[in-house]
Each structure stands twice: as C-alpha cells, then as structure tokens.
Amino acid sequence: AQSVAQPEDQVNVAEGNPLTVKCTYSVSGNPYLFWYVQYPNRGLQFLLKYITGDNLVKGSYGFEAEFNKSQTSFHLKKPSALVSDSALYFCAVLLGGGADGLTFGKGTHLIIQP
C-alpha cells in the first residue's frame, strides 16, 4: 500500500526567508508525486508534480520540489517566503500507472510571519 507522511503539522517562517515543507512517501514501484495548496474554505490548487525526468521540479508561485529516490522524499521549497504563501499544503502520491486516486498526507500548515 502506498502512503505519504508529512512530519510537521505546522511550519513557521519569517517573510523573506527560505521555506521547506517536508514530505516522505512509501510505495512499491515508481511514484508520481504531487503538491497541492489549500487556502481557507477553498479547494485544492495544484502546485507541481513529479512524473519522471529531472529530479528538481518547478511549479506555480515560485515553488519547487526535489525528488530524492534514496531518501524517498519530495520536499517542497521556496527561496523567499511571502505572507501570502500562508496556507495548508498537501503532498500526494500516485503509484505509476495506478487507476485509483491520489493518496494524500495529512497536510502541513505553513505560516509566514511578517
């Protein structure tokens, strides 16, 4: 069975500093990995995904993530945080070729302090 872990319930970062939101996964096979962001009372917005190819994936709003197969991680990063980045972030995994839905982590609250 596939699973996703987001070890931090909350991450606090000062505006302008770099941010990292951690994600590790467990699948048997080649994973497809995703990051979504959820603002209060809103749906999920797609940020980026890793399917194959370059391990460093660039996405929306200046976010990027690095696929690390040996550490089974897919941490979300941004060089300089904005207050508007404050939201709930979800990591998700899909087993390559799988027909069913995404498996999501529990989410990490990112709080950017002015």
Partner 1 sequence: NAGVMQNPRHLVRRRGQEARLRCSPMKGHSHVYWYRQLPEEGLKFMVYLQKENIIDESGMPKERFSAEFPKEGPSILRIQQVVRGDSAAYFCASSPLGPREAFFGQGTRLTVV
Q: Which residues bind partner 1 (CB under 8 A)?
A: 4, 32, 36, 41-46, 49, 51, 90, 92, 94, 98-107
Least Å distance, CB 69 to partner 1, is 18
110 vs 34: CA distance, rounded Å: 17
Least Å distance, CB 30 to partner 1, is 12
- Angle at 2 (CA atoms; ends 8, 54), nearest 5 degrees: 75
Q: Considering beta carbons, is residue 53 or 101 the nearer one to partner 1?
A: 101
Q: Considering beta carbons, is residue 49 or 77 the nearer one to partner 1?
A: 49
**Residue 67 to residues 25, 71, 82: CA-CA distances in angstroms?**
11, 9, 24
Least Å distance, CB 76 to partner 1, is 15
The answer to whether residues 77 and 67 touch, using CB atoms and an 8 Å cutoff, is no
